[in-house]
Amino acid sequence: MFDELQALEKTHTWDLVDLPPKKILIGCKWVYKIKTRSDGSIEHYKSRFAGKWYMKEYGIDYDETFSPVARLTSVHSLLAIFTAKCWKLHQMDAENSFFNGD
């Protein structure tokens, strides 16, 4: 939780402002997950700070939705191309990501 809060503060994710009139405050909560290795042992604990977006209303709080996904066949196709072309492939884990950031 400490690392997550530090990252949010470092990137200036939000500003505290007064709630505009006739607007509903969207709450937030911590979501916890235990990441395990293939043998079942604990690798590390993860936490993320999430908004309770289910409280939003279409046309008032948002106008469109977007869910970034990748089909497994697309991933397999890209891996096949990398293999055929002998390209190097690097894997990384992103600590934080923002979909509407600058």
Residue 43: inside a domain, yes or no?
yes
Residue 68: inside a domain, yes or no?
no
Structural domain of 31? 1-17+25-56
The structure tokens 């209303």 sit at: 57
Residue 13: inside a domain, yes or no?
yes
Q: Among candidates 35, 31, 33, 34, which has minimal Cα distance to 48?
A: 31
Q: Give the CA angle between residues 11, 65, 60 to the nearest 5°.
A: 90
What pLDDT sits at residue 42? Answer: 93
Residue 75: inside a domain, yes or no?
no
pLDDT above 90: residue 87:
yes
- Per-residue model confidence as pLDDT tens digits over 4-56: 778 878 888 777 789 888 777 878 888 889 999 999 999 988 888 787 777 77
Residue 49: inside a domain, yes or no?
yes
Are the C-beta atoms of 96 and 11 separated by less than 8 Å? yes
Q: How many domains does the chain have?
A: 1
- Per-residue model confidence as pLDDT tens digits over 75-86: 899 999 999 999
Q: How far is CA 50 from CA 43, 46, 66, in A?
A: 22, 13, 16
